[in-house]
Structure 1
Amino acid sequence: MPVAVHSHNDYTRRIPLWEAIGSGCVSVEADVHFDRSDLLVGHSARGLKRKESLVAIYLEPLERLIGSRNVDVTEGGWRGVFEKVPEQTLVLLVDLKTESRQTLQELSRQLQPLRELDYLTYWNGTSRIMRPLTVVASGKVAFGDILALNPTHRDIFFDAPLASLHTPKDDWTTSPPTHAYNISNSYYASSELKDGIISLASDGDKTSSPEEQDASSSQPEQAKSRGLVSRYWGSAGPKYQTSEQVMWRYFTEIIGIGIINMDDMAAVRDRSRGMGKMAIQEKN
Structure 2
Amino acid sequence: MAKQLIILLVAIGFSFAVMAQVKIHSHNDYTHKRPFFEAIENKAFSIEADVFLIGDSLMVAHSKKEIRAGNTLENLYLKPLSRFSKTEDYYAIHLVIDIKDDWSLTSKALLKTLKKYQKDFGRQGRNSVVVITGNRPETNFDWANLHFDGLPNVDYSATDLQKIVMISDNFAKYSKWKGVGEISEADKAKLKLSIDNAHKLGLPFRFWGAPDNEISWKMLSELGADIINTDKVAEATHYFKRN
TM-score, normalised on structure 2? 0.76
In structure 2, runs of 5+ residues without a counterpart are 1-20, 176-185
User: Do residues 156 (structure 1) and 146 (structure 2) align?
Assistant: yes
Whether the 8 Å CA contact 2:141–2:160 is kept in 1: the answer is no
Aligned to 2:233: 265
Q: Percent identity?
A: 25
Aligned residue pair count: 212
C-alpha deviation, 1:147, in angstroms:
2.2
Residues 185/266 of structure 1: CA separation in 2 closer, same or farther (3 Å cut): closer
From 168, 177, 199, give the equivalent of 1:190.
Answer: 168
Whether the 8 Å CA contact 1:23–1:268 is kept in 2: the answer is no
C-alpha deviation, 1:263, in angstroms:
1.5
Whether the 8 Å CA contact 2:22–2:226 is kept in 1: the answer is no
In structure 1, runs of 5+ residues without a counterpart are 70-78, 82-88, 123-128, 171-177, 203-216, 237-242, 276-284
**Tell me, what secondary structure is at the counterpart of 1:25?**
coil
C-alpha deviation, 1:139, in angstroms:
0.9
Aligned to 1:201: 189
Q: Deviations over 1:183-235 (max 9, x none)?
A: x2211211112334657537xxxxxxxxxxxxxx8212221222322110112
Aligned to 2:205: 230
Aligned to 1:140: 135
Whether the 8 Å CA contact 2:29–2:47 is kept in 1: the answer is yes
Residues 56/250 of structure 1: CA separation in 2 closer, same or farther (3 Å cut): same
Whether the 8 Å CA contact 2:24–2:237 is kept in 1: the answer is no
Q: Deviations over 1:234-270 (max 9, x none)?
A: 123xxxxxx6123213312x21112121122342242
The letter for the 2-side match of 1:201 is A
**Tell me, what secondary structure is at the counterpart of 1:189?**
strand
TM-score, normalised on structure 1? 0.66
**Tell me, what secondary structure is at the counterpart of 1:114?**
helix
Distance 2:199 2:109 in 1: 31
Whether the 8 Å CA contact 2:60–2:73 is kept in 1: the answer is yes
Whether the 8 Å CA contact 1:199–1:219 is kept in 2: the answer is no
**Tell me, what secondary structure is at the counterpart of 1:34?**
strand
Aligned to 1:219: 194
**Tell me, what secondary structure is at the counterpart of 1:232?**
strand
Distance 2:201 2:78 in 1: 29
User: Do residues 6 (structure 1) and 6 (structure 2) align?
Assistant: no
User: Do residues 38 (structure 1) and 57 (structure 2) align?
Assistant: yes
Residues 39/143 of structure 1: CA separation in 2 closer, same or farther (3 Å cut): same
The letter for the 1-side match of 2:147 is F
Work out which of the two has the higher radius of gyration on C-alpha atoms and give 1 or 2. Answer: 1
C-alpha deviation, 1:52, in angstroms:
0.3
**Tell me, what secondary structure is at the counterpart of 2:45?**
strand
From 101, 105, 124, give the equivalent of 1:102.
Answer: 105
Distance 2:203 2:165 in 1: 5
From 90, 106, 109, give the equivalent of 2:93.
Answer: 90
Distance 2:169 2:101 in 1: 21
What do you get for the CA RMSD once the two structures are aligned?
A: 2.8
Residues 192/230 of structure 1: CA separation in 2 closer, same or farther (3 Å cut): same
